[in-house]
Amino acid sequence: MVLWSHGSGWLPEGTPFDEIDDDETKTSKNGIGTPHFSFGLDETGNGDGTEYKREMCIKDLAWALEGERFELIVMDACFMGTIETAYELRNVSDYLIMSPAEIIATGFPYEEIIGFLAATTLEPLAIAIKHFYHYYNKTGALQTAAISVINTRHLEDLADAMNPVYLDYLQYMSNINTKDIFQYDRTMSNYFFDFKLFLVLLSSFTGNNYLNVLGIYNRVLPYYLHTPKIFDTLELVGTGGLSIYIPNMFETRSELHEYYQSLSWTQDSNAISLFE
């Protein structure tokens, strides 16, 4: 199944990003500089000529797919490569192909991947490679791609392994400046931090190397392909391919944090301990 639209990962519908300058050559599928959506934007109206915009949060998407089991779900939408999003969809698909960053407006090169989508044997890596090289072979801002293949069968193991990590973070969080952790959005909005680099920074304070967590992480995310930059501005060198939210105790985020605490990842991984 391919889901194509705007996207903003685990964030609830209507969550705005900071606006940034954009131009015709740097347009992404998330319509950056406008309000964002968890997934999708339905502008079909109410049927009586009045306007009504419908958006879908990631929990509603998981609920809508409940009872189904796909071999692969491709998220052709920006910022959907988050651990929170992947975990919410763990029971409805064997594999996920997502981007932790922005996806250029033209999206996946369907004329190149349709054969793999229709094949009797699933090859998610082949799809990711086609997407990557389609954009890697371009120049300038058009050389934009960050694509991750996620194996959902290991996600619950990763959530279990993260329990003591969050307790470490709770102890050392006052020493950690989240500005020192790579973010996948060009606005630096403190939503989409690099999962691996978060572990690396935390280990520098705790002395723990988190090898067990990283081992499971590599099973969850066996393949990650990316161009050097996103829209010729955001450098991806050293990134791990999956984002994670690191709660910042801003009073202005009280409603957002209430929603975040309701996510399956927050509860199962012990991220909810950061709010206690």
Q: The dihedral of CA 199, 161, 170, 100: what is its sign? A: positive
- pTM of the full predicted structure? 0.90
d(CA 193, CA 213): 17
Report pLDDT for 35.
47
- List pLDDT tens digits, range 142-187: 999 999 999 999 999 999 999 999 999 999 998 898 889 999 998 8
Report pLDDT for 248.
80
Within 10 Å of residue 163's Cβ, how many Cβ atoms?
13
Report pLDDT for 6.
84
Within 10 Å of residue 8's Cβ, how many Cβ atoms?
31
d(CA 210, CA 170): 16
Q: Which residues of the chain have pLDDT under 50?
A: 19-26, 31-35
Q: How many helices (H) and strands (E) does the chain have?
A: 9, 11
Give residue 270's region: left, alpha or beta (phi > 0; psi -120 to 50).
Answer: left
Residues 6+ apart with CB under 8 A from 46: 52
Report pLDDT for 16.
66
Torsion from C-alpha of 81, 22, 235, 149, nearest 10 degrees: 20
